[in-house]
């Protein structure tokens, strides 16, 4: 996303930006530091201007003509609307020349967030017989002695992002610099044209981390990374070319998918594993990319592996270690009631999560931490907190009521300790986990997806899904 606010509305066209008339700020000896002005008596004055502004400068913009200008507008370098004069805020005063009153639109004290090109649309009505018009920009640059925009430092110019593999890249600490003391930089990333990054590419602005799994033959090109400081000023962008070299050809499709299946499900496939056989056939015949086959396995694990990883994440703060995963999931292990066992076949998806959550949060490893956090809360308050933890965004009161008002008895039947009991609250948390997985939304569900994909060819266990795989884009408020 861009590092400054824009307003939804019609963007300037490329032709409007290409044909814009240039305004140039020059030194001024009056009450302002600089001024740029265009005036004349043409019936058709320019409809769009472009001007170079300096980050941290305060600017007043004015448009005047006999016909009231309509919506004086400032656009950014990509043609996005940044600020519009509201007609109700037009000043009572106007310009009077030769006993004729000229109407005025004005925007005052616009703080330029970045140094570079801006576009101005004065809102003159095309074709109107206007004996006079004036477009004016004046600059107050006193801020620049105490406010300094960040600058590009040792930012990379190229990143190699291997296709079909989970990739993480963190900007070096000296990628951007800022001469102001005690400032914290936040990072933003866009495509070259200012549009959003592709859906598979995630950017954590607080950490300066890019992550994601590049599809085959994607050809991403160049992205722009900006730094923004505490005062809202923005650096020039660092242009980074994203190269997506093809992964080495997979010569053993059956072996690769069998390994992925074993790693994700924590069990050895048998001859009856028809789903795996189908995926092998599809990838071998080139009807399906390998990446899609692995994602199919990830989503198929929603009733088994994800029950363990998500429940442990919620109740203990991290997924189990390798041996713990095997104990909870492997039919070849010592746990007769593993998540792949006949016992759990009797549960639908929601009840799997609820049953597992009650065991873990009421009497299992997570009981002490869960009781400490949720024990003193009402079921209503606990639902709000659990939702915020699982989905990343806080629900409204109306949302919480919609979630639990008709389900209290349902949760209590699993919790076994009354409507406000700790078991009932654990059942509620399990149900929320199931809903997140079903909709595949929110911080937990999306971070878990990435973890399982990473697990296909080996991943680190006993990590926090949120800490290791979560990004702000995963937050869902509902």
- Map out the domains of the chain as residue ranges: 14-145, 151-243, 300-474
How high does pLDDT run on average in the chain?
A: 90
Measuring CA to CA, which residue among 185, 221, 182 is closest to residue 201? 221
Instruction: Give the containing element (helix H, strand E) for 293.
Output: helix 290-300
Considering only CA atoms, which of 68, 57, 75, 67 is closest in space to residue 91? 68
**CA–CA dist 123, 337 (Å, integer):** 71
Nearest to 50 by CA among 142, 128, 135: 135
- The whole-number pLDDT of residue 127 equals 55
What pLDDT, in 10s, does the model give residues 131-145? 577 888 999 998 888
- Give the per-residue pLDDT at 95: 66
- Angstrom distance (rounded) from CA 353 to CA 373: 20
- Spatial separation of the C-alpha atoms in residues 451 and 459, rounded to whole Å: 8
In this predicted model, what pLDDT tens digit does every residue of 14-67 receive, in sequence order? 999 999 999 999 998 878 899 999 888 766 778 899 999 999 999 999 888 777
pLDDT at 45: 79
Residue 332: other Cβ atoms inside 10 A: 11
* Terminal CA-CA length for the chain: 21
- Range 468-473, long-range pairs (CB < 8 A, 24+ positions): 469/211, 470/392, 470/443, 470/446, 471/202, 471/203, 471/204, 471/209, 471/211, 472/204, 472/205, 472/206, 473/202, 473/203
Cα(279)–Cα(17) distance, integer angstroms:
50
Measure Cα distances from 202 to 86, 197, 205, 210, 261 in Å: 36, 8, 10, 6, 26
Distance, in Å, from the CA atom of 35 to the CA atom of 252, rounded to the nearest integer, reads: 69
Q: What is the CATH number of domain 14-145?
A: 2.60.120
Q: Does the domain spanning 151-243 belong to CATH 3.40.50.1370? A: no
Residue pair 6/80 in contact by the 8 Å Cβ criterion: yes
From first to last of its 478 residues, the chain has per-residue pLDDT tens of: 899 999 999 999 999 999 999 999 999 887 889 999 988 876 677 889 999 999 999 999 988 877 767 789 999 999 999 999 877 777 666 666 666 667 788 898 999 999 999 999 988 766 555 557 788 899 999 888 888 999 999 999 999 888 888 888 999 999 999 998 888 999 999 999 999 999 889 999 999 999 998 887 777 789 999 999 998 999 999 999 988 777 677 889 999 999 999 999 999 887 667 799 999 999 999 999 899 999 999 999 999 999 999 999 999 999 999 999 999 999 888 999 999 888 888 899 999 999 999 999 999 999 999 999 999 999 999 999 999 999 999 999 999 999 999 999 999 999 999 999 999 999 999 999 999 999 999 999 999 999 999 999 999 999 999 999 998 889 998 7
pLDDT of amino acid 93? 65
Q: What is the pLDDT of residue 155?
A: 92
- Which pLDDT value is given to residue 32? 87
pLDDT at position 182 is 83
Share of the chain above pLDDT 70, in %: 95
User: Each residue of 396-409: pLDDT tens digit?
Assistant: 999 999 999 999 99
What one-character DSSP code corresponds to residue 124?
Answer: P
Which pLDDT score, from 0 to 100, does residue 442 have? 96
């Amino acid at each position: 996303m861009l590092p400054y606010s824009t307003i939804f509305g019609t963007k300037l066209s490329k032709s409007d930006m290409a044909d814009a008339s240039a305004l140039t700020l020059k030194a001024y000896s009056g009450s302002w530091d600089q001024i740029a002005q265009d005036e004349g008596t043409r019936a058709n004055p320019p409809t769009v201007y472009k001007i170079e502004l300096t980050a941290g400068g305060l600017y007043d913009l004015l448009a005047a003509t006999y016909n009231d200008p309509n919506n004086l507008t400032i656009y950014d370098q990509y043609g996005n609307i940044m600020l519009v004069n509201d007609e109700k805020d037009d000043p009572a005063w106007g310009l009077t020349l030769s006993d004729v009153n000229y109407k005025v639109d004005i925007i005052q004290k616009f703080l330029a967030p970045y140094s570079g090109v801006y576009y101005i649309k004065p809102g003159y009505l095309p074709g109107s017989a206007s004996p006079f018009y004036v477009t004016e920009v004046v600059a107050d640059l006193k801020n620049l002695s105490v406010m300094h925009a960040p600058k590009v430092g040792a930012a990379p110019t190229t990143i190699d992002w291997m296709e079909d593999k989970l990739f993480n890249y963190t900007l070096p600490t000296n990628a951007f610099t800022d001469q102001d003391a005690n400032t914290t930089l936040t990072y933003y990333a866009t495509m070259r044209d200012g549009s959003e990054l592709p859906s598979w590419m995630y950017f954590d602005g607080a950490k300066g981390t890019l992550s994601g799994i590049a599809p085959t033959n994607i050809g991403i090109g160049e992205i722009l990374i900006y730094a923004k400081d505490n005062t809202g000023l923005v650096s020039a962008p660092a242009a980074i070319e994203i190269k997506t070299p093809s992964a080495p050809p997979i010569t053993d499709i059956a072996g690769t998918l069998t390994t992925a299946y074993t790693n994700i499900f924590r069990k050895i496939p048998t001859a009856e594993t028809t789903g795996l056989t189908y995926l092998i056939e599809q990838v071998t015949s080139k009807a399906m990319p390998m990446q899609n086959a692995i994602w199919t396995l990830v989503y198929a694990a929603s009733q088994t592996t994800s029950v363990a990883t998500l429940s442990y994440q919620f109740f203990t703060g991290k997924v189990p270690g390798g041996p713990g995963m095997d104990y909870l999931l492997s039919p070849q292990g010592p746990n007769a009631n593993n998540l792949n066992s006949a016992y759990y076949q009797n549960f639908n998806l929601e009840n799997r999560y609820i049953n597992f959550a009650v065991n873990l949060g009421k009497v299992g490893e997570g009981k002490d931490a869960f009781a400490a956090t949720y024990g003193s809360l009402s079921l209503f308050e606990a639902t709000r907190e659990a939702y915020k933890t699982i989905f990343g965004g806080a629900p409204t009161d109306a949302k919480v009521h919609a979630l639990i008002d008709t389900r209290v008895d349902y949760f209590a039947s699993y919790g076994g300790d009354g409507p406000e009991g700790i078991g009932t609250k654990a059942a509620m948390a399990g149900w929320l986990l199931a809903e997140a997985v079903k909709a595949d939304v929110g911080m937990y569900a999306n971070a878990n997806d990435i973890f399982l994909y990473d697990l296909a060819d080996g991943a680190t266990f006993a990590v926090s899904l949120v800490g290791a795989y979560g990004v702000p884009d995963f937050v869902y408020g509902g």
